[in-house]
Amino acid sequence: CDTEAKTLELFDTDKLHKREILPVLVVVENNNDFAIGIHERDFVLVTRDGTNLPSLPYASVLLHISLDKPLSSYSTQSEMLLRKIGDQEMILDFEHKAFGEKLIAPASSDSGVVFFMLPEKENLSGTRLYLPEIINFSDKTQLMFFEIELGRPQE
């Protein structure tokens, strides 16, 4: 969701786009005969110049878009600050849509949103979503990685 319009299709707030947060809707289809495990913290956004940007937990994103000052300027713990946001509907929406930790059964699919800081506003050309760790849940072995180009080539 690299534009405000696309972001508003997923979330009822323009604050994500204004604060340069990039929500990426990830859909995983498991065509294996075993369950797979994926965690949102394993996703990385690789920029055109090779910079790796880690994913952001939805709670950090909520605080980033809801607080006036940077999180580091507050002495209260994140969990307590989340309770003070006041918009419980928005908190539940983010919690429900966030990718989190998934255990995807054989022959099924699941989805969720992974958040990143937007590297270059509205220009994702050459940017890739990298998932280095997918786990075969039955024997705890690591499967191959995935790398998906997000941006469209410039015309």
Reported as a single tens digit per residue, the pLDDT across 11-53 is 988 889 889 899 999 999 999 999 999 999 999 999 888 889 9
DSSP β-ladder status, 52-54 and 44-46: antiparallel
* SS3 (DSSP) at 99: coil
CA 78, CA 63: separation in Å to the nearest integer?
A: 8
Query: What is the pTM assigned to this prediction?
Result: 0.85
Q: Is the dihedral of CA 96, 97, 102, 108 positive or negative?
A: positive
Reported as a single tens digit per residue, the pLDDT across 69-95 is 666 555 556 666 666 666 788 888 999
Contact 63, 81 (CB under 8 A): yes
